[in-house]
Every structure is written in C-alpha cells, then in structure tokens.
Amino acid sequence: GLLAAELLVRGLPGDVLVVALAAAALTFSYLAMAAALERQLGDGWRISDGRDVAWFLAIIALGALLSGVVYVGTYAAGGVLPPGPVWAALARYWVGDAVGMTVTLPILLVAMDAERRETLIQTLRRGQWWLMAAAIAALLVALFGDEAGFNYAYLLLLPVIWASMRFGLAGAVLAAALTQVGLIVAMQTGSHQDGFVVELQLLMAAITTTGLLLGVTVDERARSDAELRGSLRMAAAGQMSAA
C-alpha cells in the first residue's frame, strides 16, 4: 500500500529500489507504532480518558519522528532527496505525518468500535451537528481566503470545542476531520509558502488535541453519571427491601 501510494503521488521514479526501501522502512516503523498503541490502549484501541489521549499523542509523535528518520534517511542515502537541508525535509515530514495520524486515527478507531460507531451515526443525524459543521465551513472560507486570515485562525477552536462539549469524542473527531479537510482544500487551492503549510499543520494539531481531551472528558463524565445513577437505584432498592 505504501509503495503504491509513493508511485501514485510521485510517479515512477528513476530509482525504484530506493522507493521500495523507503516504503519497507515506513512499514516497519508503522508496525512498531501499532504494537505500542495496542500495548497501551488494549486490543480495542479505545481512547477512554486523558491518560489514553496522552499515550496516543506521545506514541504518534515519537512514531512519526521515527518514520521521518527512516523515510527521509533512505531517500538521502539513495541520493534522490530534493535539494535543501535534510533536517528541513525531516521536520516537514514529521509534522505532516504526526498531524495526519492524529486527525485520522481517532475517527477510524471510533468507526471500528460498534458502540461508538452507533454514537457517531446518531451524531450525524442531529441538526445541531450540521449547524456546527456550517460554522466550521464558514470560518474556513472567511479565514483562509488569503494568508492574512491565519492571524485569526484560533477562532476555529470555538466550533471544535462546541462539538466536543456537546457530543463528546464523536463530536470531537467529526469536527477535527471536517476542519482538516477544509485546511487541505485551502492549501491545495491557494499558493502558499512551505512555512505557512507547516503553520497550518501545527494549528490542526492544536485543534485536534483540544477536541480529543474535551471529548474524552465529556464521555468519561457521562459514564460516571450513568454509574452513579445505577448505584443510587441499587441503594434505593436495598432500602425498600430492608423496609
């Protein structure tokens, strides 16, 4: 899959062996990340509380750095890296890969879990969610018509926080995914400098992390409230039996 993506995005290179080696190196680095995530999150890879979010982000950050080192290093050793310092290419790859996984993996994990998938579907059926989606789209259009709008990009946090507080993790991952798609469209349709693209990716990382932390906190509180109500019902039944 990685090799096919390389050929699809970059075309047939002059040195197929270097591309194959780079794809193989990425495969092993992603396998290492998968093993670490399974070890910390369990077989279901459920992100249930703040501790899980912290482990998830740490593994993604370190794993993306490892992927960048092996990927960029392979191309540098093969002599097919574009002109420029290696560290700059590594930094761009690290940020892009980490942000991409931070945004994409949570929504995939939610979709693979039967209970949370149902919550995701129910969220998409709510009119309030579509109001939030319209707010995100309107902000993206207003902010990224030109690069000057980036100065007010922090406003994108507002609908993401709104969605996370209202719908928990489901709202957080949906809002983050929609924002990421909008930023990709903004980057592809306009002419931006590399530094601006990296700034957008860092903004996306901050938005996604905020949404994840709020979403799992809201879900955790809802579970605690449900457990408390169940305990109170049991206590009431015990008191009635004693009476």
Q: Which residue has the higher pLDDT, 39 or 142?
A: 39
Angle between helices 157-189 and 194-242 (to 10 degrees): 150
Q: Which of 62-71, 123-132, 192-201 has the lowest mean pLDDT?
A: 192-201
Residue type, 108: L
Enumerate the H helices of the chain as residue ranges.
2-10, 16-41, 50-78, 86-112, 114-124, 127-143, 157-189, 194-242
What CA–CA distance (Å, rounded) separates 120 from 167? Answer: 9
pLDDT in tens, 84-123: 788 888 888 888 888 888 888 888 888 888 888 888 889 8
Percent residues over pLDDT 90 in the chain: 9
Quote the pTM value: 0.78
Print burial letters for 150-161: b (CB count within 10 Å at least 16), e (below 16). Answer: beebeebbebbb
Position 11 pLDDT exceeds 80: no
Q: Assess contact for 147 and 196: CB atoms under 8 A.
A: yes
